Structure 1
Amino acid sequence: MRLSIIIPALHDAALLEETMLSVLENRPANADVVVVHTGFYTDPYELAGEVKFVEARSASSEADCWMVGAAATSGEIVHLLSSGVVAVAGWADGVRALFADPAVAAVSPALRVGDAIASIGVAADSLGYRRYLPLEEGKSLVGPSRLAGFYRRTWLEPLLPAAAQLGDEAADLDLAYSLKAQGLLSRPTAASQLIVKSHCFDQQRDFASAAAAERLRARHPQQFETTGYWNQVLSQTLKSLPSPKAAIGVLLGHLSGGRGERPVSLEPAEIDTSPATIRMPQRPSSSSHSDRAAA
């Protein structure tokens, strides 16, 4: 299986280069590297022969860049890797073997801060916000985080347009719950490790994140409890935010975020284990608003 590594970059050249150079230094066999940026990167190290640079000038999120990158690659496995995440030797070794199981749609690598594993993947909390899971909670994993994840292309591509509409606040969770709704598997693995900075796990509580959490809950209602929900919203909002103005913004996000959002409708996956291929169910297509112009 060929591996396509997609690195989105919105504005920070230093973070992009940190990730890009670490990937090239430890490049897996049979892998292509695509950097999707918003037009700011000038390739000062002349890496165009090693990396495919694609401009997406109207992209406003990494999730927008994912769609552009997926259209510019062809590997059976797609590795989404945020700028600032550092690849180490052998980080992709063994991942292809996990995809030998045709029911596996995603693989979540371990994220290290220093020498300690800080996260093995993500799930949503009761309010719909992203929760990074420590290694010991790997059985609760729903899918990979936006920081790093491996996906089977055939299942990832149809879900990207709808997931990108939730922005970076919840696109990874939407992908994870959509795959789960189809009966597909997301596997954690501590054998694949990357290095991140501790601040990468900081969680924003603002209007945008609250609205995305509500949209996620509306799209996947079967995954969330409703009893006492608004009491939780009020309690956690008032306790966790430093000012009334910030709390009001979060509450407004919760109140308005899910309006007009409908539950996703996905048929169970048809997995053919005999030829080790998967047939995708039909689903309504969503329009993409990203640019797809190769530099």
Structure 2
Amino acid sequence: MRDLQFARHRRLRTSQSMRALVRETHLQHTDLIYPIFVVEGNGVKNEVASMPGVYQISLDYLTEEMKEVRHLGIQSVIIFGVPQEKDAVGSQAYCDQGIVQQAIRQVKRDVPELTVIADTCLCQYTDHGHCGVVKEGEIVNDESLELLVQTAVSQAKAGADIIAPSNMMDGFVAAIRRGLDEAGYVHTPIMSYAVKYASSFYGPFRDAAHSSPQFGDRRAYQMDPANRLEAIREAQSDVEEGADFLIVKPALAYLDIMRDVKNRFPLPVVAYNVSGEYSMIKAAAQNGWVNEQEIVLEKLTAMKRAGCDLIITYFAKDVAKWLNEKQ
């Protein structure tokens, strides 16, 4: 064997400190964006049945929750609202006293160092559960844009640091960028749900946000999971229209798309580690089938390795605690 020449790759794996020294991909607190579901009323803290550890909370619990998030080292949150009243045009989405607008003002007042991202869509606020205006059974595009612009401007007015439109209407970034600029919010970035697939991984989120469509589905405006080049076209349009961040949603089943987007566009890429991905791991961990901490950290590291810069994840608080324990 003395004359046999071959590579000794294992030299760099001999100890924990050696492995840490040469580690290529790192998961950090600043990578994490924590989603929060805010509901109307008082004294409300409802655990979402299909998402163990995730709660719908009322405003009187919000400041305490945000202070905990910040104490853990997380710097960014994304707010989803669950209104009591819904109508055909989702008017609570763009109401100055809407639940998201109230939540944004409260967080910016009480925990101002947090970066607050506002999810900008209509589905939680419409009585039909679709992301736009419905006419004769069709989700119409251009009229929906007008309401989305109103929503984005009202959220920026409330103090949102970033607007994150998730509706997948054609031209939504251009319309919102123009609306924000005209309203004087030229410095408010847009975190576009640029690549959003019509995925089966969204089910638990719809329980949390009460946003299931009352008829049909969203395949006429969300992307076909079989398509890859379409993702590039969608992202290209959003870049040209003024997006500042590009979200790929879902994350785990679309790591190839994430890498494509990162390779093609010089903007921060955001992975949305969606509810179904969360709930599957929670269920498996509760049954003792997997080690939750190990599998979550491996999964999120894979997203970073695939090219994302930030991760929206319901595991954010758990991950922050695990990272703190390692320090």
Q: TM-score, normalised by structure 1?
A: 0.26
Larger relative CO (CA 8 A, sep 6+): 1 or 2?
Answer: 1
- Which structure features the higher share of helix residues? 2
- Which structure features the higher share of strand residues? 1
Q: TM-score, normalised by structure 2?
A: 0.24
Q: Which has the larger radius of gyration?
A: 2
